[in-house]
Chain A
Amino acid sequence: MAWWRSAARSVRRMPRSLKFELRAMQLAFLIDQSRCSGCFTCVVACRQWHSSELEVTAWRRVEAIEEGTFPNVGVTFFSLSCLHCRKPSCLSACPAGAISKRDEDGLVLVNPQRCVGEKQCGLCREACPFHLPQFNPRHDFRMEKCDFCAERLDQGRGPICVEACPMEALDWGPFDVLMKRHGVTGGGKGIPLSKESEPSVLMKGKR
């Protein structure tokens, strides 16, 4: 687990003497709607980082919720990628066994070699409450999605989206640690967090 200790040290505001329950460890994202400006930097930073060999699809997306009537209008922005659910419905739906949940950190990962592709299947996307799995037309329409920058974590760096965000609206870490660090248990617009799949995400709403 050395990778994760060094990665943890590289993250902003991460207490150095961090204690966590290894077996219960679940990495998660924090989405801060009070900071997200809807600039799409995370989307493109992610896409270019993962496209160095094969051009991938956009694994993140940014949503905007507009409410109210002129001139009393409000807009909430947030960025969304695979939420690495504790009980991933994509995993249960996949007939090819291409999706797995990693024991040590709870990441939901996909093995493209096993995926039969959207044209044959596409069940994972339908099963996902947020329709986040993407199919790459440049790779036989096989499924791909956020892998939490597992390769960067191994090198002691945080996910590219978190490090690129100009507004520090994204954060990452073990779910419990993230919860303590930001003092949130959830809440925010646009993502029903009480889904059966138990998404590994924390949200801060606008104040």
Chain B
Amino acid sequence: MSGIVQQDQTKVQVVASGGCHDCGGRCPYFIHVKNGKALRIEPHEDLKACARGYGYIRRVYAADRLLFPMKRVGERGEGSFERISWDEALDRVATELRKALETFGPSCVLCQGSSGSPGRLNNPAPIYRLFNKLGGCVYRWGSASAEGAYFAAKVTFGTHAAGHTKDDWIHSKLLILWGLNPTENIWGTNTSLHLLRAKEKGVRIVTIDPRLTNTGALLADQWIPILPGTDTAMMLAMAYVIIKNGLEDRGFLDVYTVGFDVFKAYLLGEEDGVEKTPAWAESLTAVPAKTIEELALAYATEKPAALIPSFACGRTAYGEQFHRAGAALAAITGNIGIAGGSPGCCDIPPVGVSPGPNMPSSPSLIPIGENPFEKKGPQEGHPLSFESRSRFKVHNTKLWDSILLGKKGGYPGDIRFFYVVCANPLNQLPNTNKGVKALRSLDFIVVQDQFINATARFADILLPVTTHWERDDYMRPWLGGDYHLFGNQAIAPLGEAKSDFEIAWELAKRVGIADYSERTEREWLEEIVFSSEDSRRDIGDYDAFRTAGMARAKVKRPVIAFEDQIRDPKRFPFPTPSGKIEIFSQALADLGDSRLPPIPKYMEPWEGPRDPLRKRYPLQLITFHFKTRAHSNFDNIEWLKELEPHTIWINPRDATPRGIEEGERVRVFNERGELWISAKVTERIIPGVVAIGQGAWYRPNEKGIDRGGCANILTRDEAGPGGSTPTNTALVEVARCEG
């Protein structure tokens, strides 16, 4: 074991560690270890972990941890497995993989990695490196969380690092939290505390959300309930009000933006004959026109004001437009690049940004190399087009279709072999029931995980992975932030679990990739720690960093996106084609896709409040992040699960006519499936909308009805035109559960 003083095992040793999963935070804490066993966790003095962090000890030692390699002995999905040796498991995977590649080529292998590990060494990247060295395979694309925001930020600002560090919020006069709920989904360690500081300093806080979240309940001065998927309409109406009152920041627009006049013409109805008035927006959003007008005037006059967009609103049918419209509003009011403002588009501060493993050039990861499969065939196509981006990869929402339909359906390959690492796609991607069909159709499935989750139940071979308490790793703040973490190994691997890197290397040896690694795991880690410019700046001595477990970024705080561009636009153009903030994007105009217009527009969402399908399924469903889970992690941890029941939120105005009472078990269904769940009848949700926390484990009964309450039973496997994953766009019906 490294990173721990080894002298006396019988004394309590304190190990600097931290980070859990893609919970929204990345928090340092200290693990007390005695006789090789982790006893308990001590908080860090100022970066505070949440219930998930303190519950992690139960996850590490959970009775249902996957600790040994297993092979399937029952039917696919039945969950019957038998313990086998690592040799047998790896040989079997290697044999099946070689067979698939030799017979059908790289297009028959699909590799799905996601955000299941917080480490920069151990995550899907080592497996990606292996597959790329093997000749490539089909990967997925699209961030299930934030692709709408990434798309919009890239188009509008040329980068997705378009936010401020949260310590800037005290400089605002008005904070508009658009769908943001950091007290439950964290949104960067200590974000809620910064919000509290802002409130206590007198900053007015408005929350716009279909639910009165814990964040709204505690911190907001005003809750504006809104129908899901209609946020863009409200934003356009706010822009309309600002322009009609002559309050737009003309100086800012002239110097820093392109295309305001085209946007203005659209708002005034010159393009489509529809004026985007507050009354127009009221009819779509259920937000009173007067409320929209008041907020617009406040936002334009109480400067600096920060509009903080949540990724959740982007996870809707045309979610890209929400983030584009937010950016336009921020530009119109001149709230970009200044303390107390916000670019209103994609709230990631330009410090400590940790790019995902699906971005091959990203630093702070083991180099994954290029995917040879993607180099075959023509590469042309528009970089923003969904089709171009799907030429060799599969979008998140299309994973199941790509397996079921293959090349005939226009997908990159006829998938036979599926490798899943740090991911639980059956549970966490839309349309679980279609996923079940897809997984049943495959030749071979390998799942590398810590638990036998919904996806793992369908595996042919299960490979047990260590938790980050059982290995050293380097961690960066969730999406960005001003510190670095080193998670020291606290305990020996449990059972026969191996790290993601070890598994990839072992597998490489068996499939004949002799040059998989020229370094040991420990050497790679040091290499990765110093592989980015900011880590070289902030982390001096490697051993001192490991001992402390943390290093602070050497930056001037708060960090404000586009400060340079606003101060000196000649010297620092925006990284866009025009060098300016693109309210109008020529690149989008050239794309010629009416669903991705060059200016932000409102488009009627499918399965939205005005879809005729509402006759059959009258309620809009949203699937929010739950405070005791990190996606599907922790749902099996009793200590966390018992804190708050997993329920569907429903307003009494919707519950009463259906005869549904508080705590009663209900059926929630649409044409994609059905789940059973308890009802939380509450005034905290807008009528016409129901909400289920995402991440509960899919637990079907013999009829295929999910009793675990996995929200993706109900979500639609349709992508936003820019690649968003619209898990907050679905229509359902709710009924009492008889019997």
Contacts and interface: CB of A to CB of B under 8 A. Distances in A.
A46 to B, nearest CB: 9
A66 B683 contact: yes
Contacts of A77: 214, 217-218
B51 A43 contact: yes
A58 B640 CA distance: 11
B453 interface: no
A49 interface: yes
Interface in A21-43: 34-41, 43
B223 A37 contact: no
Contacts of A66: 682-684
A69 interface: yes
A38 B192 CA distance: 12
Nearest to A74: B217
A70 B238 CA distance: 24
A135 B53 CA distance: 25
Interface in B206-237: 212, 214-215, 217-219, 223, 225
A185 interface: no
A75 interface: yes
B32 interface: yes
B43 A160 contact: yes
A45 B212 CA distance: 26
B193 A166 contact: yes
Contacts of B32: 52
A152 to B, nearest CB: 9
Nearest to A49: B40
A73 B55 CA distance: 31
B48 A41 contact: yes
Interface residues of A, number: 36
A64 to B, nearest CB: 8
A167 B196 contact: yes
Contacts of A48: 40-41, 54-55, 57-58, 639
Interface string A83-103: 000000000000000000000
A67 to B, nearest CB: 9
Given A49-B40, A160-B43, A167-B196, A70 B218 contact: no
Given A74-B217, A164-B43, A39 B51 contact: yes
B39 interface: yes
B51 A41 contact: yes
B48 A166 contact: yes
Interface in B36-92: 39-43, 48-51, 53-55, 57-58
A75 to B, nearest CB: 4
A43 B48 contact: no
Contact of A163 (B43, B212, B640, B682): B43
A164 B196 contact: no
Contact of B214 (A37, A71, A206): A37
B639 A168 contact: no
Contacts of B58: 48
A165 interface: yes
Given A52-B32, A75-B214, A39 B683 contact: no
A112 to B, nearest CB: 19
Contacts of A163: 43
A44 interface: yes
Given A52-B32, A70-B225, A41 B54 contact: yes
B628 A40 contact: yes
Contacts of B212: 73, 75
Contacts of A62: 643
Contacts of A145: none
A168 B196 CA distance: 10
B683 A69 contact: yes
Interface string A160-197: 10011111100000000000000000000000000000
B695 to A, nearest CB: 16
A125 interface: no
B48 A165 contact: yes
Given A37-B214, A38-B214, A44 B192 contact: no
Contact of B218 (A36, A71, A73, A160): A36
B183 interface: yes
B184 A44 contact: no
B114 interface: no
Interface in B390-442: none
A35 B196 contact: yes
Contacts of A52: 32, 39-40
B323 interface: no
A49 to B, nearest CB: 5
Given A48-B58, A166-B190, A166-B193, A41 B683 contact: no
A50 to B, nearest CB: 8
Interface string A112-135: 000000000000000000000000
| Most chain B CB atoms below 10 A, which of A36, A40, A76, A163 | A40
A142 interface: no
Interface in B79-108: none
A166 B50 contact: yes
Contact of B215 (A37, A47, A206): A37
Nearest to B215: A37
B730 interface: no
B165 to A, nearest CB: 17
A171 B192 CA distance: 18
A111 interface: no
B651 interface: yes
Interface of B: 32, 39-43, 48-51, 53-55, 57-58, 183-184, 190, 192-193, 196, 212, 214-215, 217-219, 223, 225, 627-628, 639-640, 642-644, 651, 653, 682-687
6 interchain residue pairs of minimum CB distance:
A75-B217, A37-B183, A166-B48, A52-B39, A44-B54, A40-B51
15 contacts: A36-B218, A37-B183, A37-B184, A37-B192, A39-B214, A40-B627, A40-B640, A41-B54, A44-B639, A75-B214, A75-B218, A164-B54, A166-B50, A167-B192, A206-B218
